[in-house]
Chains A and B, each alone.
Chain A
Amino acid sequence: MFRKSSLLVAAISFVLLFGSVAFAKKAYVNGIDANYPPFAYIDANGKPAGFDVDSLDWIANKMGFTVEHKAMEWSTIVQSVVSKKIDMVYSGMSITEERAKQVNFSDPYWKVAQVIIAKKGSGLSVEKAFKGGMKLGVQSGTSEADMLQNQIGKDGNNYELKYYDSAPLAIMDILNGRVPTAAMDIAPAEDAIKHGKDIEIVGEFGEPEFFGIAVRKEDKELLETINKGLKMLMADPYWEELKAKHLKDGAH
C-alpha cells in the first residue's frame, strides 16, 4: 500500500514538473475538416496533414505557440469555436458574412473558385446544372450550400440540393450516378481528378471566395498573432514549397 502511494506521489510530481514546462508555451487547438484534401486530411500514419495543417505548424513554430489539430464535424465547427471546444479553424474555411457574425477571420490567405463537377464526358454545363431541374450535390454546412439554397427559384434556377457530409462523398455519388452534378471548391475537385477519379470540372459559378482563419471574437491577441505569422509565411520560400507539395502545379 505504502509503495503504491509513493509511486503515485512520484507520478504526480513528475507530471507537475514536466507539465509546467510544457505549458510555458501557449497551446491552442485547431479544428479541421479531415475530409477536405488537400487542405486538411488524415495521412497514412493517422496524423493530420495537408496544406493548412503544415501552414499552421509553421506559424506556430515561428510565433512560439503549440497547436493540436483536431478533426471535427464540419457542419458544427463554427459552433465548436464559439463554445470553446476548439480555439480556431484553419482548414479551408471560406470567409462569409454569415460566419463573421459569430467568429472573427484573419486576413485572407487563399482565393478559391467554386466549381460544378460532373462525370467525365457527361456533356453537362453549369447552366444545365442550375436550370435543368436536376439534383445537385453539395456538402452541408459550407458556404456554397448556403448560397445555393438561397438561389433556388431565382433567375430560372431549379435544382434540387442533395446534401453530403464531405466533398469526396459527393464525388463518389457522381461516380455512382446518383447525382449528375455537384458544387464544391475547386481544391477537392482537383484532388479527386489527381487521384484518377472519372470526373471533370464543367465550369465555375458564383464569386470566388477567400479562405481565412476563424477565431473567437474575444481572442483579439490570437488573431493578431495569426495574422502576423500568416504574413511571414506567405513571404517565406516555404509558402511556394507548400503549394508545390499539396496543390496541383501550385497553380493559384
Chain B
Amino acid sequence: MQQQLSVILEALPYILEGAGVSLAIVVFAMALGLLMGIPMAVGLVYGHPILRRLIGLYVWFFRGVPILVLMFLFYFGIFDALGLDLNAISAVSIVLGLTSAAYQSQIFRGAIQSLPQGQLKAARALGMSDMQGIISIILPQALRLSIPGWSNEYSIILKDSALAYVVGAMDIFTRTHFVASRTYEHLALFINAGVLYFIITLVGVKLLLALEKKVRIPGYTM
C-alpha cells in the first residue's frame, strides 16, 4: 500500500498534466460539436429535403463508425491526404468534435421538436422571417431544454477522450500507462486514473446542472 501510494504521489503531477490535455480535448470537441450541431439540428427540422438527407447521411456515418476507427482513419489517412499536419491532440479533438456534432444535432433536434408547433407560425404572424423566428424564439428555448442531454454528451466525450491513447496524445490514460510500465503498479495507477475521470465528470456535470438551474425560465415547465 505504502509503495503504491508513493508511486501515485510521485506520478501525480505528470498525470494531472494529462488531465489538462484530456480537458482541452473535451472542451474543443464540445465546442466544435455545438457549433456544428445547432445548424445541423435546424437543418434537420426545417431544411430542404435534400439538405436533410445530407445531414442525415453525416449523422449516420459518425454514429455508425467506432471512434477508434475514425481516429485511425483521420489521423493516418484523411488529414494526411488533405495536407494537414496535425498533432495527435488536435486530431483527436477534431475527430471527437465531428462525432459529437452528429450526436449533439440529435439532442438539439429533439429539443426543437418538443416545442409546440405553433410557435414559428406565431413568430411569422408577428412579421418575423423564419430565420429570425428560429434564432430568437425557437433556439433560446430549445438550447435550455438541451442542457441535460448535453451534460450527458460531456461525460461521454470525456471518457472517449481516453481513446486518444491510440494515436499517442498525452492524455490521462496514456500517461498512466507509461508510469505503470516503469513501476509495474498497474492496478493502483489505473484506479487512480479512474478516480480522476470520475472527478472530472462529476465536476463538469455539476456545473452544467447549475447552468441549467440558472437559465431556467421561471414558471415554464415542459
Residues of B contacting A169 in the complex (Cβ-Cβ under 8 angstroms)? 181, 186
Q: How many B residues have CB within 8 A of the partner chain?
A: 25
Residues of B contacting A180 in the complex (Cβ-Cβ under 8 angstroms)? none
Verify if B168 is at the interface (C-beta below 8 Å from A): yes
Residues of A contacting B11 in the complex (Cβ-Cβ under 8 angstroms)? 44
Verify if A6 is at the interface (C-beta below 8 Å from B): no
Contacting chain B: which of A71-79, A100-108, A112-120, A152-160? A71-79
Of residues A36, A83, A197, which shows the largest number of chain B Cβ atoms within 10 Å of its Cβ? A83
In the complex, the answer to whether B186 meets A71 with C-beta atoms within 8 Å is no
**Chain B proximity of A176: nearest CB distance (Å):** 9
In the complex, the answer to whether A84 meets B85 with C-beta atoms within 8 Å is yes
In the complex, the answer to whether B168 meets A36 with C-beta atoms within 8 Å is no
Question: Could you count the A-B residue pairs with CB atoms below 8 Å apart for me: how many are there?
Answer: 61
Q: How many A residues have CB within 8 A of the partner chain?
A: 29
Residues of A contacting B184 in the complex (Cβ-Cβ under 8 angstroms)? 168, 171-172, 192, 195, 197
Verify if B214 is at the interface (C-beta below 8 Å from A): no
Contacting chain A: which of B21-29, B111-119, B171-179? B171-179
In the complex, the answer to whether B178 meets A44 with C-beta atoms within 8 Å is no
Interface residues of A (CB under 8 A from B): 34-37, 41-46, 70-73, 76, 79, 83-85, 165-169, 171-172, 192, 195, 197
Interface residues of B (CB under 8 A from A): 10-11, 13-14, 17, 72, 76, 80, 85, 165-168, 170, 174-175, 177-184, 186
What are 25 A-B pairs at a CB distance below 8 A? Answer: A34-B181, A35-B177, A37-B182, A41-B178, A41-B182, A44-B182, A45-B14, A46-B17, A70-B168, A71-B168, A71-B170, A71-B178, A72-B168, A73-B165, A73-B168, A76-B76, A76-B167, A83-B80, A165-B177, A168-B181, A169-B181, A171-B184, A172-B184, A172-B186, A197-B184
